Amino acid sequence: MRAIIVEDEFLAAIHAESALERLGIAVLGMAEDTQGALGLAAHKPTLALVDLNLRDGFTGPLIGAQLAAMGVNVVYVTANPGQLDGVNTLRSPVLEKPLEEHKLANTIRSIFQKEES
Protein backbone atom coordinates (compact mmCIF):
# COMPACT_ATOMS: atom_id res chain seq x y z
CA MET A 1 0.00 0.00 0.00
CA ARG A 2 1.24 3.47 -0.92
CA ALA A 3 0.00 6.73 0.59
CA ILE A 4 0.29 10.48 0.26
CA ILE A 5 -0.33 13.03 2.99
CA VAL A 6 -2.00 16.33 2.15
CA GLU A 7 -1.37 18.52 5.19
CA ASP A 8 0.09 22.00 5.66
CA GLU A 9 0.92 21.67 9.36
CA PHE A 10 4.42 20.20 9.51
CA LEU A 11 4.06 18.42 12.87
CA ALA A 12 0.70 16.90 11.91
CA ALA A 13 2.19 15.68 8.61
CA ILE A 14 5.20 14.11 10.35
CA HIS A 15 2.90 12.46 12.91
CA ALA A 16 0.73 11.01 10.10
CA GLU A 17 3.80 9.82 8.21
CA SER A 18 5.14 8.02 11.28
CA ALA A 19 1.77 6.39 11.95
CA LEU A 20 1.45 5.16 8.36
CA GLU A 21 4.98 3.79 8.33
CA ARG A 22 4.37 1.91 11.59
CA LEU A 23 1.35 0.36 9.88
CA GLY A 24 3.59 -0.84 7.04
CA ILE A 25 2.36 1.73 4.52
CA ALA A 26 4.91 3.44 2.26
CA VAL A 27 4.56 7.22 2.23
CA LEU A 28 5.24 8.59 -1.24
CA GLY A 29 5.30 12.22 -0.15
CA MET A 30 3.58 15.14 1.51
CA ALA A 31 1.84 18.13 -0.02
CA GLU A 32 0.64 21.42 1.44
CA ASP A 33 -1.80 22.47 -1.30
CA THR A 34 -3.79 21.41 -4.36
CA GLN A 35 -0.91 21.60 -6.82
CA GLY A 36 1.37 19.51 -4.63
CA ALA A 37 -1.33 16.92 -3.93
CA LEU A 38 -2.20 16.45 -7.58
CA GLY A 39 1.50 16.23 -8.42
CA LEU A 40 1.92 13.39 -5.91
CA ALA A 41 -1.10 11.62 -7.41
CA ALA A 42 1.06 10.88 -10.47
CA HIS A 43 2.87 8.32 -8.28
CA LYS A 44 -0.39 6.33 -8.08
CA PRO A 45 -1.02 6.13 -4.32
CA THR A 46 -3.69 3.78 -3.03
CA LEU A 47 -4.46 6.02 -0.03
CA ALA A 48 -4.47 9.74 0.74
CA LEU A 49 -4.80 11.42 4.13
CA VAL A 50 -6.25 14.84 3.36
CA ASP A 51 -6.67 17.82 5.70
CA LEU A 52 -9.49 20.25 4.93
CA ASN A 53 -7.84 23.64 5.36
CA LEU A 54 -4.58 23.85 3.48
CA ARG A 55 -2.11 26.47 2.38
CA ASP A 56 -4.41 27.44 -0.51
CA GLY A 57 -7.62 27.57 1.57
CA PHE A 58 -10.50 25.16 2.21
CA THR A 59 -9.43 22.94 -0.67
CA GLY A 60 -9.29 19.53 1.04
CA PRO A 61 -12.75 18.40 -0.12
CA LEU A 62 -11.95 19.36 -3.73
CA ILE A 63 -8.59 17.58 -3.57
CA GLY A 64 -10.25 14.53 -2.02
CA ALA A 65 -12.82 14.40 -4.81
CA GLN A 66 -10.15 14.69 -7.49
CA LEU A 67 -8.02 11.97 -5.90
CA ALA A 68 -11.03 9.67 -5.49
CA ALA A 69 -11.84 10.15 -9.19
CA MET A 70 -8.32 8.83 -9.88
CA GLY A 71 -9.02 5.73 -7.81
CA VAL A 72 -7.30 6.85 -4.60
CA ASN A 73 -8.95 6.00 -1.27
CA VAL A 74 -9.37 9.21 0.73
CA VAL A 75 -9.41 9.68 4.49
CA TYR A 76 -10.01 13.21 5.73
CA VAL A 77 -8.03 14.22 8.81
CA THR A 78 -9.18 17.43 10.49
CA ALA A 79 -9.51 19.26 13.76
CA ASN A 80 -12.93 20.52 12.59
CA PRO A 81 -15.00 17.58 11.26
CA GLY A 82 -18.16 19.71 11.21
CA GLN A 83 -16.70 21.59 8.25
CA LEU A 84 -17.42 18.54 6.10
CA ASP A 85 -21.17 18.64 6.76
CA GLY A 86 -22.83 18.81 3.35
CA VAL A 87 -19.46 18.77 1.58
CA ASN A 88 -18.36 15.13 2.00
CA THR A 89 -20.26 13.85 -1.02
CA LEU A 90 -17.83 10.92 -1.29
CA ARG A 91 -18.72 9.81 2.22
CA SER A 92 -15.02 9.36 2.85
CA PRO A 93 -14.02 8.49 6.41
CA VAL A 94 -13.13 11.39 8.69
CA LEU A 95 -10.62 11.19 11.52
CA GLU A 96 -10.10 13.93 14.06
CA LYS A 97 -6.78 15.50 14.91
CA PRO A 98 -4.72 14.71 16.77
CA LEU A 99 -4.56 11.52 14.75
CA GLU A 100 -4.88 8.35 16.81
CA GLU A 101 -2.98 5.45 15.28
CA HIS A 102 -5.47 2.73 16.26
CA LYS A 103 -8.34 4.69 14.67
CA LEU A 104 -6.27 5.19 11.53
CA ALA A 105 -5.47 1.46 11.39
CA ASN A 106 -9.14 0.51 11.83
CA THR A 107 -10.24 2.99 9.17
CA ILE A 108 -7.68 1.77 6.64
CA ARG A 109 -8.57 -1.86 7.35
CA SER A 110 -12.26 -1.06 6.82
CA ILE A 111 -11.62 0.71 3.51
CA PHE A 112 -9.62 -2.13 2.03
CA GLN A 113 -11.93 -4.86 3.34
CA LYS A 114 -14.79 -3.17 1.46
CA GLU A 115 -12.69 -3.13 -1.70
CA GLU A 116 -12.04 -6.87 -1.43
CA SER A 117 -15.75 -7.67 -1.00
CATH number for position 112: 3.40.50.2300
Range of the domain at 73: 2-116
| Distance of alpha carbon 92 from alpha carbon 76, whole angstroms | 7
- Residue-wise pLDDT for 17-75, tens only, equals 999 999 999 999 999 999 999 999 999 999 999 999 999 999 999 999 999 999 999 99
- Residue-wise pLDDT for 69-99, tens only, equals 999 999 999 999 888 888 777 789 999 999 9
- Please report the pLDDT score of residue 117 as a whole number: 64
Task: Report how many domains make up the chain.
Answer: 1
The model's pTM is 0.95
Backbone angles phi, psi at 105, to 5 degrees: -60, -45
